[in-house]
Amino acid sequence: MQIKTLAAGIAAVVVLLVGSSGAASAFNPQPDPPGFGIVSINPDQTIRLNVVCWEHTVDGVPPGPCHGDLMFHDMAGNVVAIQTVKLGPGQAAFLDFTLVRGANPLNPTGIEPCWIPDPTSGRALPTTEVFDTQSGRVTLHVNPLTPRISIVENNSRGR
């Protein structure tokens, strides 16, 4: 009986110590890049990933050059298009992807746009659009889940 009571007491103390210690956390000075979800396109459409290098001072921090990779992944995670860019403040770039001709027009294909900034990159803002390849008419415009511009800068105070 005493052993069961002692074991229960030790277990209770351990639970209290672990529960009161709290979770450890740390500040990440380089937040995750803005993220997109899967975007469906048809064979008669083109998906375009745009990125612009922010040209304005934020919280007294001047703009810097933006370097990184624009890319598209298919539903299996394969890279289907990639372009490395080096932009000065105020400059922009884009990457297009169109499905291979002959694809089933009734079967939309999922494509994931992806912007991977270089760790030393300035503030770059990506967007994605889907447009009709023949007419150029935009059918979808997507903004990623993007942190506030004041926390996108490396070593920012993150206000």
Q: What is the pTM of this model?
A: 0.69
For the chain, the average pLDDT equals: 77
CA atoms within 13 Å, Cβ hemisphere of 80:
19
Higher pLDDT, 35 or 51: 51
User: 3-class DSSP state for residue 50?
Assistant: strand
Structure tokens at 59: 């919280």
Phi, psi values for residue 50, rounded to 5°: -105, 150
CATH of 39-151, one of 2.60.200, 1.10.3470, 2.60.40, 2.60.120: 2.60.120
The Cα–Cα gap between 50 and 58 comes to 22
- Please provide the distance, in angstroms rounded to a whole number, between the alpha carbons at the two ends of the chain: 57
Domain boundaries, the chain: 39-151
Mean pLDDT computed over 29-35: 56
